[in-house]
Chains A and B, each alone.
Chain A
């Protein structure tokens, strides 16, 4: 079956530090990969996605590259801000459209301090 493994948090960084949150996956077929972010008190929001090998998803300064050879989709940001403090979920799906279902990782809490 499908599964997603994320690094365990919390991750605590100073503002302007470099961020990496690791994510690896196991899937049947060719999955699409996603990062979701959950800010305090809010629902999960789609942050970025990649649908095929070597694709790079990017949004709000965050990036992740779909690496089929290492089955990874690590999230990176060059310079984090306090406002990036949130829980980040890596996810995948092996189908798309109205029948799609997401498989999530455990989530990684990021805390950014001044």
Chain B
């Protein structure tokens, strides 16, 4: 199946700094990318959906100025956690979907674990 990579896989940063997470579709063009977050013992929650070349659509309760999403090309989306705080420590997962559409064509990255000290 298609491969989606994330970088870095793990990051530790100081409170107040910004962290960028990259999500790449390696062998297909991803017209839509999704960013999820999972806190310990909680559900994997959708944060935002982005389509290539347009602004991301954020889910209710997700601060768009804090979680900046850029989907500038068909193979790359980035999530920047700005001015990170300890409560932002979480597991972030991206997924990518090709132009043909449905859930069967949605592929997930392995996730990025963020720890903010």
Binding site for B on A (CB under 8 A): 3-4, 8, 32, 34, 36, 38, 41-46, 49, 89, 93, 96-98, 100-107
Contacts and interface: CB of A to CB of B under 8 A. Distances in A.
10 contacts: A32-B103, A44-B95, A45-B108, A46-B106, A97-B102, A98-B32, A101-B49, A102-B46, A104-B43, A104-B44
Nearest to B6: A43
Interface residues of B, number: 26
A106 B41 contact: yes
Given A43-B108, A44-B93, A106 B42 contact: yes
Given A89-B44, A101-B49, A104-B43, A43 B95 contact: yes
A41 B110 contact: yes
A42 B38 CA distance: 16
A91 B108 CA distance: 14
A43 B107 contact: yes
Nearest to B39: A106
A90 to B, nearest CB: 10
Given A43-B93, A43-B95, A106-B41, A100 B110 contact: no
A101 B33 CA distance: 11
B43 A101 contact: no
B103 A102 contact: yes
Interface in B59-117: 93, 95, 97, 101-104, 106-111
B40 to A, nearest CB: 9
B110 A98 contact: no
Given A93-B103, A97-B102, A104-B43, 13 more contacts: A4-B43, A34-B103, A36-B108, A43-B4, A43-B93, A43-B108, A44-B93, A45-B1, A102-B46, A102-B103, A103-B46, A107-B38, A107-B44
Question: What 3 pairs across the A-B complex have the smallest Cβ distances?
Answer: A43-B108, A104-B44, A44-B108
A46 B109 contact: no
